[in-house]
Amino acid sequence: MARWEPDARGRLERAALELYSEQGFDQTTVAEIAKRAGLTKRTFFNHFADKPEVLFWGHEVLREVYETSIADAPASATPLDVLAAALQAAAALHEPRPELIRRRHVVIAAHPALQEREHLKRATVADTITSALHRRGIDEPTARLLGEIGPAVFKVAYDRWVADAAYDGRLGELVADALGSLAEVVTTSAARSATSLL
């Protein structure tokens, strides 16, 4: 078996997701993943620390995307516009891999420990957004509020995206829809509050 193969990480990821889907996460071994990918166990551990990391390895890349897009937003952008740009950048990261991401979603949804890790990932994304916004000079309470709202908005769009293949290539559109719904709710609530004070 070759010691070096092109796109070893991608091949291992695809093989793992196939096996997790076919026989379950707990029942799948690293040896089986490596064999399915046509690689060695050593190659697997060169790319992933363990089986769960196959599902979560992109988390650091996602955090970097949030940090970079928030830092690079125009100085004139409103805090909400900065958040929207960051969410769109995250959507663009996901859009080229719908099939793999849908498989990942199903595997995680079927496993409580993996769900817990997914929730933790979402919490660290919230912290990343909050810190990046605060570094732009946005006050801490506003940065924290947007940091909590951002992952929630993204999750609403993401859940629609993974549930229906008709949305392939359109995660950014769904993110915009979710942000629009949020803006509409806030505007309507503000208008009602203002009316009640008259």
> What is the per-residue pLDDT for 1?
38
Task: Compute the mean pLDDT over every residue in the chain, rounded to the nearest whole number.
Answer: 92
pLDDT digits (tens, 9 = 90+) for 3-32: 445 699 999 999 999 999 999 999 999 999
The number of angstroms, rounded, from the C-alpha of 149 to the middle of its chain's C-alpha atoms is: 14
Question: Rounded to an integer, what distance in angstroms lies between the CA atom of residue 139 and that of residue 148?
Answer: 14
> What is the per-residue pLDDT for 187?
84
pLDDT digits (tens, 9 = 90+) for 135-153: 999 999 999 999 999 999 9
Closest by CA position to 115, among listed 104, 124, 125 = 104
Closest by CA position to 110, among listed 21, 30, 5, 2 = 21
Give the torsion through C-alpha atoms of 97, 95, 128, 132, to 10 deg: 140
> What is the per-residue pLDDT for 188?
81
